[in-house]
Structure 1
Amino acid sequence: MAGDKEADIREKHEETIEKFIQVIAKNMNLYGITPSVGRLYGVLYFADEPMTLDDMREALEMSKTSMSTGVRSLSEMKMVKPTFKKGIRKDLYQSEEDWYKSFTSLFGNRWRQQTEINMEEVEDAMEELHTLMEETDDDQLQEKMQRDLERLEYARSYYQWLMKLIRTMESGEIFEYIPKNDK
C-alpha cells in the first residue's frame, strides 16, 4: 500500500513538472522559439544531470536531428551550454540556470538585429526623401516630405534610445537599475 502511495506521488510529481514544461514551451513562443524547442529547454532545465542528444530524443520522442537543431538554437541564444563529464564521450548539454542572463541575451540579440535593420531603413528613407525634396518644385510636396523627415528623425532617435537599452541589457547594467529578485 505504501508503494502505491509513493508511485502516485511520483506520477503526480512528473505530471506537475510536465505541465510546467508545457507552460514554458507555450510562453517561449513569445520569444520566437518553437514549442518543441521550448519543451526541449524545459526538459533540460528540470534534468538533474546534463543530457546527451540520445537522452533528449528519448525524453521527448523526437528525432536526433530535431534535438540537434533545437540544442543549436538554444545554444546560440545562450539558454543551453555544452558541458563535460569524465568518462562520457558523447556531447552533453545542460540548461542555463540563470533565466535573467538568458532573457537579456535572447532579447538583446533579437532586439539588436531588428533595431539595426530599422535604423538602416530610417537612414535610407531619409536619404531618399532629401533627394526627392531637391528634385521637386512642388511646395506642398516639399512640406509633406519635411514633416515625414521630422517623423523619421523621431524614429531614428527612438531606435538610438533602444540601442542604449539593448546595450544596458547585454552588459548586465540593467540589473543596477532593476535588481534581480532573490530566490
Structure 2
Amino acid sequence: MTGAVDADGDRRDRTMSDTDTHDPVESARAEVIDALERSAEVYGAKRSYGRLFGILLFEPEPVSLDGLAERSGYAKSTVSTAMTTLERFHLVHRRSLPGEGKKAFFEAETDLWYVFQQFLRQEVTREIRIMSRALDEAAEALEDAEGERAEYHLEQVRKLQRMYDRSDRLVSLLTGQPLDRLTDLLGRVTGGSDGE
C-alpha cells in the first residue's frame, strides 16, 4: 500500500477501494463512500469523517478502531478523533462486544432522520436557548431606555425574538414526529400525496 494525504491533511494508505477492481458491488460502494467524503466537506467537516462513516455504513457488524484504521488506511489517532466527533453527532454508536473487554467497536446510524432530530434537539435547541435568554434580557433593558436609538434596537431585538420563538416551535414539531407523519402532513398542506 502507498501512502497518500487527503484534502484534510490526514495521511491515508491507499486501500482496495481506491483502485479500479471492475467489481460492480465494490464500485457502487466506493462511489457512495466518495460522495460521503465530499458531503462531509460541504458541512465543514473533514473528508475523513465522511469516509469513515461510509465504511461503517457498509459493515454488517460493529468495527473496532484498529479495524477502521485498517479498512480506511488512516492512522488510528485520526480514526479515534473522527469517531468521537461522529458519535457526538449521533452518526455512529460505540458498542462493547462480549469477550472483547473494554475494546470499543463502532457502527453507523442508518436512520438519518434520527440523526437530524438529535442535532436539532441538542445543537439547535441549545442555540435557541442561549439567544432567547440574551434577547429577553436585552429587550428588558431596552424597554427601560429612552430615545430613538433604544427604540430601533428594541425593534430589532423583538424581530429576532419572534424568529427564535417560531424556530423553537418548528424544532419541537420536527423532533416530536416521525418522518412519515411529517411527510404526509406536508403532502396534505401542499396538496400533494404520497405517490407524487
Question: TM-score, normalising length from structure 1?
Answer: 0.75
Gapped runs of 5+ residues in structure 2? 1-19, 185-193
2:98 equivalent to 1:86? yes
CA 1:171–1:30 in structure 2 vs 1: closer, same or farther (change >3 Å)? farther
2:49 equivalent to 1:24? no
Aligned to 2:109: 96
CA 1:120–1:175 in structure 2 vs 1: closer, same or farther (change >3 Å)? farther
1:34-88: per-residue Cα shift (whole Å, max 9, x none)?
2211211111111122100001111122222221221121112111112344343
Which structure's residues are more often helix, by fraction? 1
Gapped runs of 5+ residues in structure 1? 1-6, 134-141
Aligned to 1:34: 46
Which structure has the greater CA radius of gyration?
1
Q: Which has the higher contact order (CA 8 A, sep 6+)?
A: 1
Aligned to 2:83: 71
Give 1:26 deviation, angstroms. 2.0
Give 1:8 deviation, angstroms. 4.5
Determine if contact 1:108/1:169 at 8 Å carries over to the other structure: no
- Once structures 1 and 2 are overlaid, which stretch shifts more, 51-60 or 123-132? 123-132
Match of 1:146 among 128, 151, 156: 151
| Identity value in percent | 21
CA–CA distance in structure 1, aligned partners of residues 109 and 75 of structure 2: 23
2:167 equivalent to 1:162? yes
Residues matched between the structures, number: 165
CA 1:31–1:119 in structure 2 vs 1: closer, same or farther (change >3 Å)? farther
Q: Secondary structure at the match of 1:160?
A: helix
- Structure 2 counterpart of 1:171, which letter? G
